[in-house]
Amino acid sequence: MEHIWPVEDSMLGIPTSEPPEPKQTSLINKFFDSPNIGFAVVDSHLCYIAINEALASMHAMTVEAHLGQRVRDVLGEAAGEVEPILRRVLLTGDPLYVEFTAKLPTRAENRRWLGNCFPIRDSQNKVVQVGAVVVETNVPPVMVDTSVAKLAANKLRLESLLDHASLLMATLEFNDLLPAISEFVHNLLDPDFASLALYDKNAHHLNVQELDLPRHEKLASRDETVPAADPPYGSTFLHGEIKFYDRDTLASSDSHLLRRLREAGIQRFCILPLITRNGTLGTLNLGSKKKSVYDFDDIAFLRKMAVQIAIAIDNAGAYRQIKELTEKLNKERLYLQDEVRFDHRFEEIIGESESLRRVLGQVETVAPSDASVLILGETGTGKELIARAIHRLSSRTDGNFIKLNCAAIPTGLLESELFGHEKGAFTGALTQKVGRLELADKGTLFLDEVGEIPLELQPKLLRVLQDHEFERLGGNRTIKVDIRLVAATNRDLAKSVSRHEFRSDLFYRLHVFPVRVPPLRDRVRDIPLLVRYFVQKFSKRLNKHIEHIPAEAMNALQTWMWPGNVRELENFIERSVILSQGSTLSVPLAELRIEYDGPQMDSTLESLEREHILRVLRETGGVIAGLHGAASRLGMKRTTLQSRMQKLGITREEYQN
């Protein structure tokens, strides 16, 4: 081939965006009737669907013999010049003027040809056919510079490779990649057989899958799995060698695949490595029923084509990994995005309500000192978490955090647990025991339910707080300790003091810095965060995957009074996760609607409800309706809330002061 020029549609008189007009149709008919000008139309598979007598005569064949035949079946070796031109017109939609020299199977010598190739579009403006107007010239073959023609043909071939590769690279989904590779290989080479042998790192073998080529039936009866080192793919995959097989080597091979291909009429077979910067991915395997293809002159082009396929497979693999990681992160984000952990210092404390923030502010204030802290609050509010936060923020963070639940140990053993004992101090004291006070030296001692300490032990504890010394039970040696005491109770110690159930001097020593943890009913804003945190916690523990929490359930959880506070909520969510069968949390709402018997309980619940509504009204500035109003916060209709306020006797003065 010597020259290729883009041409305007007006040069041909053939439209490319609309059906032919009558005068243009007449021009096409003149091409068909012309005795000297050849004319043909091929489809997207490069098969003749129309040809005039002039061009059929140039090929020394009848018109009928052309129809349905591929260009390469008619033109033979000359198809190597023509097919890249036709495919480029199909791909780009741009007409081309061509000039080339080739020898037809029916001719004994090379002939020179001039032609116009133009796209033919359907009603959606898609190129579906290519028309060609061809003239055979009388220039002697000796005047043709074959080297220039060959260079031009190679250039066109590479340009076609790049054009088709750009479409292949745009395919990132693995499900779409094999069809795209099939079309890529078909458009560039139109082989009779093509397959991929891709390496599976986990199984250490090659998965061989035949490509679905247009106009070709699959020759291999099934896809297969073969060891990576086995022939015919082994040497190519392991060493990067390009392997060529002809008819004789196919017949003499021990490979079942090669014998099947030989029996199916394949006379030329080529195996190419798919190499990327990440290593060899596998092999591309091509077969043809023609002898004069895939020879050593084609190695450079075949290698470039294999590189493009390898890059496309590598890109699709990377895209799949990124997509899987993204999906995983999105699923984890369903839980993590709502876990409000103020910072690493309060990583175990979930919530963002104003009342909780006030408590954490107090913790930050008192933690750096060595002052005793008394944590007050109802059972289940998380007093131990506050104690741990105080320890972590103090200068004793590297020391031990020792806890002792004073209500969980019998009175007779509490002194031994707290102070320790010597061997033989009492019946059963067979060895010396170190008490919690010694273990907490240079650290923090947390006494939970401190109000349950018997009166007879309270003076000994007071001495430790004042003098930092004590004796073990049954011993006479004074032991010095440096501890910081954090105590917690759900009792009203002031009342216990007035009833002489708790020593006043110990109370004042403990009550240096009181911190009151709010009940969950005063932290309605934190309930959704706690629910999602507990759902995540128990889903992982129970190996379940829960993504959705029904809005009705969340509203019910926010309106419940939670007498057991966070501990009750935690246990309730654990039960809900156990009951859940799918990805939606199954909340036993009936358990939140238990009717309490007795006027005293009704009165208590009514007063709690009244306090809760008043608190929410104060937080919303007295606004009842609207998205951020009290009714929305409480999960009620505006009219329902107003009716409830009237029943409970709530006045405007109570929540607007």
What is the rounded CA–CA span in Å between residue 501 and residue 494?
Answer: 10
Q: pLDDT tens digits for 542-581? A: 999 898 998 888 888 988 888 889 999 999 999 999 998 8
* Residue 469 CA: distances (Å) to CA of 55, 462, 464, 474, 637: 115, 10, 5, 15, 61
Q: What is the reported pLDDT for 340?
A: 36
Mean pLDDT of 636-646: 81
DSSP per position, 66-98? HTT-BHHHHHGGGHHHHHHHHHHHHHH---EEE
Q: What is the reported pLDDT for 342?
A: 38
pLDDT value at 618 more than 70 = yes
| R_g of the chain computed on alpha carbons | 43
Of 156-160, 166-170, 444-448, 580-584, minimum mean pLDDT range: 156-160
| Architecture field, domain 521-656 | Orthogonal Bundle (1.10)
Nearest residue to 340 via CA among 517, 539, 522, 530: 530
pLDDT band, very low/low/confident/very high, at 150 (cuts 50, 70, 90): low
pLDDT value at 105 more than 70 = yes
CATH 3.40.190.10 fits 368-518, yes or no: no
Q: Residue 365: which residues within 8 A CB-CB, separation 6 or more?
A: none
pLDDT value at 56 more than 70 = yes
Checking 209-215 for CB contacts under 8 A at 24+ apart, the result is: 209/178, 211/178, 211/181, 211/182, 211/185, 212/178, 212/179, 212/182, 213/182, 213/185, 213/186, 214/45, 214/182, 214/183, 214/186, 215/45, 215/47, 215/70
CATH 3.90.1640.10 fits 170-320, yes or no: no
Q: pLDDT tens digits for 350-404? A: 888 888 999 999 999 999 999 999 999 998 899 999 999 999 999 999 888 989 9
CATH of the domain spanning 3-151, picked from 3.50.50.60, 3.40.190.10, 3.30.450.20, 3.40.50.2300: 3.30.450.20
Of 41-55, 255-269, 600-614, minimum mean pLDDT range: 600-614
| Contact predicate 447/485, CB 8 Å | yes
CA 6 to chain centre: 46
pLDDT value at 143 more than 60 = no
Q: What is the reported pLDDT for 488?
A: 94
Nearest residue to 134 via CA among 198, 79, 52: 52
Q: What is the reported pLDDT for 241?
A: 82
pLDDT value at 146 more than 70 = no
The whole-model pTM stands at 0.43
Region(s) of the chain under CATH 3.30.450.20: 3-151
Q: Which residues of 420-445 are buried (b: 16+ CB within 10 A; e: fewer)?
A: bbbeebeeeeeeebebbbbbbbebbb
pLDDT band, very low/low/confident/very high, at 630 (cuts 50, 70, 90): confident
Region(s) of the chain under CATH 1.10.8.60: 521-656
Region(s) of the chain under CATH 3.30.450.40: 170-320
Mean pLDDT of 430-446: 87
